[in-house]
Chain A
Amino acid sequence: MPSSATVVRMDVEALAKKAKAGDEDAFTALVKVTHADTYTLAHRLTGNADDASDVVQEAYIRAYRNLKSFRGDAKFSTWMYRITANCASTHLSKRRMNHHDELTEFMAPSDNTPVHDPDFVVMNGSLRTALVDALQALPQQMRAVVVLRDVYDLPHDNIAEELGISVTAAKVRLHRARKRLRDLVGDPHESEARRAV
Chain B
Amino acid sequence: MTRMKARRAVQCESAVAAVASLATGEEPSNRRQAQHVSECLRCQAAVARDRRLRRSLRQLRGAMIRPNPELLSELLLAISEAAADEASRSRSRTKRLVYMAAAGTAAGGAAAGGIAVAIAMHRHRSTFTAAAG
A contact residues vs B (CB 8 Å cutoff): 24-25, 27-28, 31-32, 35-37, 39-40, 43-44, 49, 52-53, 56-57, 60-61, 64-65, 109-115, 117, 119-121, 123, 127-128, 131-132, 146, 149-153, 156, 167-168, 171-172, 174-176, 178-179, 181-182, 187-189
Contact = CB atoms under 8 A, between A and B. Distances in A.
Given A53-B71, A60-B79, A61-B79, A174 B61 contact: no
B23 interface: yes
B17 A35 contact: no
A86 to B, nearest CB: 17
Contacts of A132: 60
Given A53-B68, A115-B64, A182-B53, A28 B130 contact: yes
12 contacts: A24-B128, A32-B72, A36-B66, A37-B64, A49-B68, A61-B82, A112-B65, A120-B59, A156-B26, A176-B16, A188-B52, A189-B49
A175 B67 CA distance: 30
Contacts of A25: 129
Interface residues of B, number: 45
B63 A39 contact: no
B20 interface: yes
Given A57-B78, A120-B62, A172-B17, 7 more contacts: A24-B129, A36-B64, A65-B86, A120-B59, A121-B62, A150-B53, A171-B17
